[in-house]
Amino acid sequence: MSVGRNFFVMKKNIFAFFIFISVLSRAQTPGEWVWIHGSNTPNSPANYGTQGVSSQANVPPAFYTTCGWKDLNGNFWMFGGWNNYNVYGDLWKYDPVINEWTWMKGSGLPNDAGNYGAQGITSPTNNPPARSGAVSWTDSQGNFWMFSGNQGSDYCDLWKYNVSTNEWTWMKGPNLQGQPGVYGTRGVSNPANYPGSRQETSATWTDASDNLWLFGGYEYSGNNSLFNDLWKYSTATNEWTWMKGSQVGNQPGIYGTLGIEDSASVPGGRCPYSHWTDNTGNLWLWGGWNASNGNFNDLWCYHPLTNNWVWMGGSNTINSPAVMGTKCIASQSNIPETGWENRAVWKDNDQNFWFFGAGTYVTTFKTYNQLWKYCVASGEWAWISGDASINPPGSWGTLGVSSPTNKPSGRIGSVSWTDDNGHLYLFGGENNSGTSYNDLWMYTID
């Protein structure tokens, strides 16, 4: 009887799997969003299930400012995040083929203190403390790296996660919050160097030599400083190098001439979020927020070979208006609204840059649900989808069914991935009323 029952269950699961694949294949309509997992209700609860076991019923909490990775097998991962005034230290994996989440690591409890273990020594009991607003990288070996974040105060610890062993290693930086950086000499690596405690940045890049790059961020713990320092970490030597910018917070930008490389040019101190790497290894960032409630829409490119920034587009003044143009039509005059917390970024198969959502704050908090594309070859922006209005509601439609009217709500602090077929994925984020989501979306590029 048990063999027959198990065979029936296996057939049922196989049937359900192919039904799901069929639904997704029909749902992949170019130029449309499809809601594929999670709830369309803000602050929906999680279902952790059994650690290490995937299930259709599993779903992470509604999260804001979680950080994410993609592994060598095409799975999506995320760690931490903010949920209803709590932060978490759990690691989740999503398999886009079977549309299932797996709780992989962590206690499942809010504000968990974690376990550092010994620096440089991996252990199955190691786990980073709960946090939000951390930054992430993936190296060529498929290891995940994470730095900084906030749990009441800010961190400056660097962690590495090995996917094959499911183990964390505390690699660098103190296991204390609110610590100033040790800058050393600009351009010179030193085992004593490390960036200071910070949060609210996702401006990170990995270069061809597996060096990890980091720009800017917000130090809430001490002086409410917004940084414009650029750092490089060598995975080979386990050393940080301060490369560019100031070790003093809240510095103004030096724009120079648009499109002209200059050793004096540097973005101002900010919380930066949107970031990309082009085919030649240059590092790009867009927008952010500074200490005077200033919102940026400037675009910058950093050349590692010359150690120089170039102001590439957008305004050199804060809170500049957008030029939306016509949907799906790129133009030299188009420019997105100034904004920040647009952590959802992608690079498509044609090497164009994309971002979704943003927030602005001058006297009131506003969110957007616009999807933008930047063509590196032409230097033009195109508004692809979403609303021109502020704080727009979402339209989820039917789970798993694509529609031209589907759209995520206005939000900030989402996390994003690209699958092996070039689809754009978006998870969670927070709306203008401070409530978060655990919905997962997929967009098919037209």
pLDDT of residue 15: 36
119 neighbors 128 (Cβ within 8 angstroms): no
The confidence score (pLDDT) of residue 211 equals 98
DSSP string, 228-291: EEEEEEETTTTEEEEEES-SSSSPPPB--STT--BTT-BPPS-B--EEEE-TTS-EEEEEEE-T
Task: Give me the pLDDT at residue 26, please.
Answer: 39
- Residue 12 pLDDT exceeds 90: no
Cα–Cα distance measured from residue 367 to residue 432, given in angstroms and rounded to the nearest whole number: 6
Which helix or strand (DSSP H or E) is residue 329 part of? none
pLDDT band at 222 (very low <50, low <70, confident <90, very high): low
When pLDDT is averaged across residues 16-35 and rounded to a whole number, the result is 63
Kindly report, residue by residue over 258-285, the tens digit of the pLDDT: 999 999 999 999 999 999 999 999 999 9
Contact 149, 80 (CB under 8 A): yes
Say which DSSP state 21 is in.
H
Residue 220 pLDDT: 81
Per-residue pLDDT band for 308 (boundaries 50, 70, 90) equals: very high
Mean pLDDT over all residues of the chain?
Answer: 93
Burial of 299 (0-12, 13-18, 19+ CB in 10 A): buried
Residue 13 has pLDDT above 50, yes or no: no
Answer whether 297's CB lies under 8 Å from 335's CB.
yes
Mean pLDDT lowest for which of 57-61, 144-148, 219-223, 410-414?
219-223
What is the band of 231 on the pLDDT scale with cuts at 50, 70, 90? very high
Average pLDDT on 64-73 reads 97
Q: Give, as one character, the DSSP assignment of residue 136.
A: E
141-145, 221-225, 313-317, 377-381: least confident range:
221-225
- Residue 372, pLDDT above cutoff 50: yes
Cβ–Cβ under 8 Å, residues 13 and 19: no
The predicted pLDDT at position 23 comes to 43
Distance CA 273, CA 341 (A): 6
HSE-CB of 167 using CA atoms within 13 angstroms: 11
pLDDT at 362: 86
Q: How many CB atoms lie within 10 A of CB 423?
A: 19
Average pLDDT over residues 72-97: 97
13-17, 170-174, 400-404: least confident range: 13-17
Q: Across residues 94-116, what is the average pLDDT? A: 98
The residues near 412 (Cβ < 8 Å, ≥ 6 apart) are: 64, 340, 341, 342, 343, 357, 358, 359, 367, 429, 430
Domains located in the chain, CATH noted:
31-444 (2.120.10.80)
Which of the four pLDDT bands, split at 50, 70 and 90, describes residue 27? low
pLDDT-based confidence at 14, cuts 50/70/90?
very low
What is d(CA 138, CA 206) in angstroms, rounded to the nearest whole number?
A: 7
